[in-house]
Structure 1
């Protein structure tokens, strides 16, 4: 094992970068800094007035509570060459002295538990606004391995994060596809509008249904000729779906015009039950220690579109002696406390319990995806319904009485058949990412100090 040396042997902290006051440049906000991922997705543009300055390859390290404790750290990777970006004054920029050897190694060093603990122990300031200085971080010492081992460790860990990024990008694409289908059918009513337009112009019902088929498939009538010949069964399914959409829109009080025959109702009527959660008494170890029942907070609901795990667990005794309730898989969870988070929702892919700041919408058969996509679009509605002097909340009653409409069972069934594999693939990718993160984090300390000789 090598003798320990200062981190400044391989890292420059807050290196000088040229950026003029008032210059418009890429900007990264603290909120965009990830907690357990490498890549920074949200980069905007803003006039430079001060703060951290960085370029591609730099690591951004959050130095203020609670961001430091929460693990906010990211690697800058998607700026144009030679472009300088800027960000929060609460970032510390870490740059490898030798980027060819240590660029990735430095990022993973910033995620090393030993380094993060060192940083937390040196935070100063008033409660709630504590920070660590880069000068204190510069005192960190570590048994750094030889350059070739550092580079190999960075390459291996980068391969894991590259796979995580690919899965994340795939999920973003799948989400966009699912949202586009939902919007077309249930927001813009494109199949119905296409039918209605043809009939209004004097066309036949056959022509109207062909128009609906083009709206559903995204293909022209000419393009549909080939599937009719080569895949008659698939073509017939599309034709049957087009026929199932109404041919006219009718006015309603809550939604303006909706397809004829679809019924306006409340969310409660599309659900088996709607329930709030609860929190077992924190001081009672019997309710928490060695718990195996997942328990979700509203923060987890607000920060994840699809949930595959919980951070905390309660015991059966905790469940039995509190207001916490089991929530079946495929329910939609709605945060109900403290605007602007009130109204945010997520799809829960596993059986769990929640705290009292979450309202669980347990769907009726066939409504698990429809309810979720519908509620994703209701955040502003819930914000408008929030009330309270100390903090703006919504209630279970408001969630229950949320106006919604019911499509026909035939259309809902086809929607589920299309959306289910999309959702299942997203869930599968999230589960794989979770396993990759666990692998990465378990190997990271030994890779960084050179103990693991083989990284393949």
Structure 2
């Protein structure tokens, strides 16, 4: 079949351009998206851009406007060869060349996936200078072997279905993240259910009125909406009422300030163990086929272990992380995340956070709650890599509910965190499947039948 594939040019090429500095008000909060390599975040489509062009900005670079559906390719530095689809008419900067394919010969999605496999080839074409540049002339010389358009569409459809599911998972996780942060802050930092009860009682309301006020604070529903919930979804109403009942109707003084009555003021290092990683250059594997990938700050940021560095699997278990573990980088780029990149060895400057007494959601959210303050402390240090010390964990105070409230009020946060981890792991699986199918589909190793296009059947 591949003998029938034809050698073709990539398509019409448009080089991006930045508006001249002499143009005032070239940028605006909304308008035509202005795409730069920074906006290429690994997803198929540019979802958002840091900047947009005003009418004046677009007019100054009119010849560089590219139509929706085009494929943009980064052409300079370490990002060279990264590709992205353009969803709406846009302008790119001069570090990007955009391809407008002839859709009778080349499916745009197929071209995007094809380019995603050519990153090293494009770097080789650009040459080995200190700052290699892949200019329009280089692109004009590139030829690719293309199958029939029906094959391109089928192959792209299979790959796009996986990418679409990956993107859906990402969006669901963003929503879950926003929900979890809002709930945690409302209940365990601002104590809104408790304050709602207190305000109602101080205004002369009954205990039942106070409970109803807490239910409104927890759910964001009005009294009428709660009445409707009780009639239409009594089990959900009962769960909400039980949750509201877990919050007291009074406050008490503490080292942290006023906290709910019956709660404890505790430091982060009292509710969780912060195990520092190892200087893993001292623990290299004896067998290159039996090792753990090393996770440093860079890998934590990326969310996966790239296997560039390897460590012995015989290091102490406390310094080995696996899916779902909470990891906190306390030096350099301070961040907290749940690791979803598989079993790995934890390098120094990273804490593995665990607890024998408290659930994961609690120490994860409280660590992240204090992250902004930790980042400020690290930024104030006059050293190359700002960091925090263990003493800062002792000063980071938290209002810890009683055991019953933790077990019951925390159920929703526990479910959300578990779902986030599940979706991230599924995203990794889908990405691996896509990356496995990609070269097979683009090379013709997987045979697609034109008669089965609508059924989406792949013959291997």
The reply to whether TM is greater than 0.5 is: yes
Q: Does 1:381 align with 2:383?
A: no
Deviates more, 1:38-47 or 1:101-110: 38-47
Q: Secondary structure at the match of 2:358?
A: coil
Kindly indicate whether the alpha-carbon contact (under 8 Å) linking 2:122 and 2:134 is maintained by their aligned counterparts in 1: yes
User: Any conservation in 1 of the 2:105–2:149 contact (CA below 8 Å)?
Assistant: no
SS at the partner of 2:99? strand
Tell me what 1:417 maps to. 411
1:336 counterpart residue number: 330
Counterpart in the other structure of 1:39: 45
Match runs of 1:54-69 below 5 Å? 54-68=66-80
Of 31, 37, 41, 1:30 maps to 37
Mapped to 2, the partners of 1:358 and 1:389 lie a distance apart of 18
Q: Are residues 147 and 18 of structure 1, via their aligned partners in 2, closer, same or farther at CA, if it must alter by over 3 Å?
A: farther
Contact 1:52 1:91 in 2 (8 A): no
Cα displacement string for residues 241-279 of structure 1 (whole angstroms, at most 9, x for unaligned residues): 22221223445554x5432332222110111x2121124
Q: Secondary structure at the match of 1:219?
A: coil
How do 1:332-411 residues align onto structure 2 when only pairs under 5 Å count? 332-338=326-332, 341-342=333-334, 344-349=335-340, 352-386=344-378, 387-399=381-393, 401-411=395-405
CA shift, 1:109, in A, is 1.2
Measured at CA, do residues 401 and 292 of structure 1 come closer, stay the same or move farther in structure 2, by a change above 3 Å? farther
- Structure 2 equivalent of residue 86 of structure 1: 92
Alignment CA distance shift 1:404-1:159 (3 Å): same
Q: How far does the alpha carbon of each residue in 1:299-352 deviate from its partner, in whole angstroms, 9 at most, with x for none?
A: 232345xxxx533398773543x99812466442112222xx22x110135654
The within-5 A match list for 1:278-357 is 278-281=278-281, 284=284, 286=286, 289-304=288-303, 310-312=305-307, 317=312, 319-320=314-315, 325-327=319-321, 330-338=324-332, 341-342=333-334, 344-349=335-340, 352-357=344-349
Distance in 1 between the 2:113 and 2:267 partners? 49
Change (3 A) 1:313 1:248: farther
TM-score relative to the length of structure 2 = 0.81
Relative to the length of structure 1, the TM-score reads: 0.82
Task: Supply the distance in 1 between the matched residues of 2:291 and 2:64 (Cα, whole angstroms).
Answer: 43
Q: CA RMSD in A?
A: 3.4
SS of the equivalent of 1:143 reads strand
SS in 2 for 1:224: helix
TM-aligned CA distance change 1:330 to 1:152, over 3 Å? closer
Q: Which runs of 5+ in 1 are unaligned?
A: none
Pair 442,213 (structure 1): closer, same or farther in 2 beyond 3 Å: same
Contact preservation (8 Å) 2:255, 2:265: no
Q: Which 5+ residue runs of structure 2 have no aligned equivalent?
A: 449-455
Give the whole-Å Cα distance in 1 for the aligned partners of 2:202 and 2:225.
24
CA distance in 1, matches of 2:263, 2:182: 20
* Cα contact 1:196–1:208 (8 A) shared by 2: yes
Residue 265 of structure 2 aligns with which residue?
264
> Among residues 142, 145, 150, which one is paired with 1:143 in the alignment?
145
In the TM superposition, residue 231 of structure 1 has moved relative to its aligned partner by 5.9
- CA distance, structure 2, for counterparts of residue 43 and residue 33 of structure 1: 9
Shift of 1:440: 1.6
Q: Comparing 388-397 with 144-153, which one deviates more in the overlay?
A: 388-397
Cα distance per residue 1:364-414 (max 9 Å; x no partner): 433311222233333321122112422322234434543322122222212
